[in-house]
Amino acid sequence: ADIPQDLFGAIEALKKELNAVILAHYYQDPDIQDIADYLGDSLGLSQQAAETDADVIVFAGVHFMAETAKILNPHKLVLLPDLDAGCSLADSCPPEAFADFKRQHPDHLVISYINCTAEIKAMSDIICTSANAVKIVQQIPADQPIIFAPDKNLGRYVMEQSGRDMRLWEGSCMVHEIFSERKLIDLKMQHPAAEVIAHPECEPPVLRHADFIGSTTALLKYCQQSPKQQFIVVTESGILHQMKKAVPDKELIPAPPTSNCACNECPHMRLNTMEKLYLAMKHQTPEITMPEATRVAALKPMQRMLEMSI
Ligand code: 13P
Ligand code: SF4
C-alpha cells in the first residue's frame, strides 16, 4: 500500500509529529532495534514505560509487553504493530484454569512472571521479570507459601537460587524450551574456550551447561564484562544484533534448536516489521485496550515489582 521508500525517515518524522516513543525488545528485527528510542529487557522496558512523558507509546515487542505499558499508562495511546504478536508462555496460563489453581492453594502468595496476560497479572500479588525474580522471592518471609507462574523453568531456577520451595504453574516458552542439549554439548566441544550464556527460560538440561544465566540485558552486559573471547548464546537470536555492536571483536555463537534451523527466532516477536511499525504510527492503530477494572487490579502487583526491584 502506501509504504514510503525511506521507512526510517518516515518513522522518525511520525515520532516527532505524535510525540511518540518507540520501546523495543532485543528479540525484534535489527532494523526495529535500530530505530527504537529505548531497547531493553522486560524490566527495563517496564521502567521506561512507567517514566516516559511521550503521548504515544509504540511497543515493538509482544502483546503482554504492550499491555504492561498500558497498565502503567492508562491515558496514553499504546500501539502494537501486530496485535497477533502473542507469547506461548502467556498463552500457557489461561485465566480460568489459573483461578482454579489459586483456589486450590488459598494461602499462597502469587508471584507472576511478567510474561502473562493482564488478567493473570490482575490475579497476582507481585510481578517479576527474569532480571529481578530471585531478588523478589528472597524478600518474601520464609514461612509464606508461594505460587510462581507461568514459567516452570524460570520458577525452578529461582527455587535453586533462593533455596525456596514454590508451587509452579507448568508453562514454558516455545523458543527457549527447544534448545538442544546434545547440540550444545557438541558446540562446547568445538569451542572449549567459549562461555555458555543462557536465559533462565531454558530447560534444566540446557541450563546446567551454562556459565552464566540471566535476562537479555544481563547476558548483553555479561559478554561485555567477561574477559572471554567466545560466547555460546542460548536465547532468542535477536540479542546477537546488540551483542555484535557491543563486542565487535568477540565471537558470538548462537546455540541451535533441536530442529534444523541455525538459530532460534520467536515467531511472535518477529511478526512486527518496519512496515507494520510505520503503518501503526501513521494510522494510530492497532491500539491496546483493556477493561479498567482489570487494569487497576493488574497495576498493583506491577507497582510492587517496581518498588521491590530498586
Ligand atoms: P527478558 O528480556 O526480560 O530477559 O525476557 C525474555 C523474553 O523471553 C521476553 O519475551
Ligand atoms: Fe514469549 Fe518466548 Fe517469544 Fe518471549 S521468546 S515472547 S517468552 S514465546
Q: Tell me the CATH number at 227.
A: 3.40.50.10800
| 280 shares its domain with 215 | no
Q: Are residues 156 and 99 in the same domain?
A: yes
Q: Is residue 122 part of a domain?
A: yes
Query: What does the pLDDT look like over 84-97, one tens digit per residue?
Result: 999 999 999 999 99
> Which of helix, strand or coil describes residue 36?
coil
The answer to the question of residue 191 being in a domain is yes
Any ligand 1 atom below 6 A from CB of 73: no
The grid cell for 301 is: 502487583
On whether both 79 and 17 belong to a single domain, the answer is yes
Same domain? 162 vs 302: yes
Decide if 18 is inside a domain.
yes
Give the ligand 2 atom nearest the CA of 88: 8
Same domain, 78 and 149: no
**Is there an atom of ligand 1 within 6 Å of 52 CB?**
no
> Of the bound ligands, which one is closest to the alpha carbon of residue 174?
2
Ligand nearest the Cα of residue 220 is: 1
Identify whether 71 is part of a domain: yes
Domain of residue 184, residue span:
176-254
Q: What number does the ligand 1 atom closest to the CA of 41 have?
A: 2
**Cell numbers representing residue 304 in the block:** 510492587
Return all residues near 1 (Cβ < 8 A) that are at least 6 apart.
279
> Ligand 1 centroid to 176 CA: how many Å?
10
Is 200 flagged in the annotation as binding?
yes
Task: Please indicate, yes or no, if residue 1 is contained in any of the structural domains.
Answer: no
Q: How far apart are CA 282 and CA 72, in angstroms?
A: 24
Question: Is 259 part of any domain?
Answer: no
108: closest CA among 171, 172, 170, 165?
165
Total-model pTM: 0.97
Do 182 and 221 share a domain, yes or no?
Answer: yes
CA 245 to ligand 2 center in whole angstroms: 23
* Domain total of the chain: 3
CA neighbours closer than 13 Å in the CB half-sphere of residue 242: 27
Q: Annotation-wise, does 289 bind a ligand?
A: no
| Distance from Cα 60 to the centre of ligand 2, integer Å | 13
Tell whether 262 is covered by a domain: no
**Alpha-carbon span 308 to 302, nearest angstrom:** 10
124 is in an annotated binding site: no
Per-residue confidence (pLDDT) for residue 309, from 0 to 100:
87
Q: Cα-Cα-Cα-Cα dihedral of 253, 178, 64, 123, to 10°?
A: -130
One-character DSSP codes across 109-171: EEEEESSS-HHHHHT-SEEE-TTTHHHHHHTS-TTS-EEEESBHHHHHHHHHHH----EEP-B
Q: Do 67 and 118 belong together in one domain?
A: no
Q: How many residues does the chain have?
A: 310
Annotated binding residue at 132?
A: no
- Residue 228 in domain: yes
Same domain, 56 and 75: yes
Nearest CA to ligand 2 atom 3: 266
Q: Is 114 annotated as a binding residue?
A: yes
DSSP conformational letter for 179: B
Instruction: Enter the ipTM.
Output: 0.98
Residue whose C-alpha cell is 532494523 = 31
**Is residue 129 in contact with ligand 1, taking CB distance under 6 Å?**
yes
Q: Are residues 188 and 204 in the same domain?
A: yes
Ligand (nearest to CA of 270): 2
Q: Are residues 167 and 181 in the same domain?
A: no
| Tens-digit pLDDT profile for residues 133-151 | 999 999 999 999 999 999 9
Residue 287 DSSP label: B
Cell of 193: 574456550
Q: By alpha-carbon position, which residue is closest to atom 10 of ligand 1?
A: 115
Are 64 and 207 found together in one domain? no
CA of residue 3 to ligand 1 center, whole Å: 30
H or E, element range at 4: none
Provide the grid cell at 29.
Answer: 528485527
Residue 213, helix vs strand vs coil: strand
Measured from the alpha carbon of residue 114, the closest ligand is 1
Q: What is the DSSP letter of 98?
A: H
Rounded distance, CA 214 to CA 287, Å? 31
Sheet containing 77-79: order of strands: 38-40, 20-25, 56-60, 77-79
Q: Are residues 115 and 75 in the same domain?
A: no
Mean pLDDT by 10 residues, the chain (310 residues): 91 98 98 98 95 98 98 97 98 98 98 98 98 97 98 98 98 96 96 98 98 98 98 98 98 91 90 98 98 98 93
Ligand 2 binding site (Cβ under 6 Å of any ligand atom): 27, 62, 87-89, 115, 173-175, 236, 266, 268-269
pLDDT of residue 1: 63
Q: How far is the CA of 87 from the centre of ligand 2 (A)?
A: 5
**pLDDT value of position 261:** 78
Alpha-carbon distance of 22 to 270, in angstroms, equals: 16
Sign, CA torsion 177/183/189/193: negative
Q: How far apart are CA 310 and CA 297, in angstroms?
A: 22
Residue 142 burial by CB count (10 A; 0-12/13-18/19+): exposed, middle or buried?
exposed
Residue 131 makes CB contacts below 8 A (sequence gap 6+) with 41, 42, 43, 44, 214, 215, 217, 218, 309
Q: How far, in Å, CA of 21 to CA of 18, rounded?
A: 9
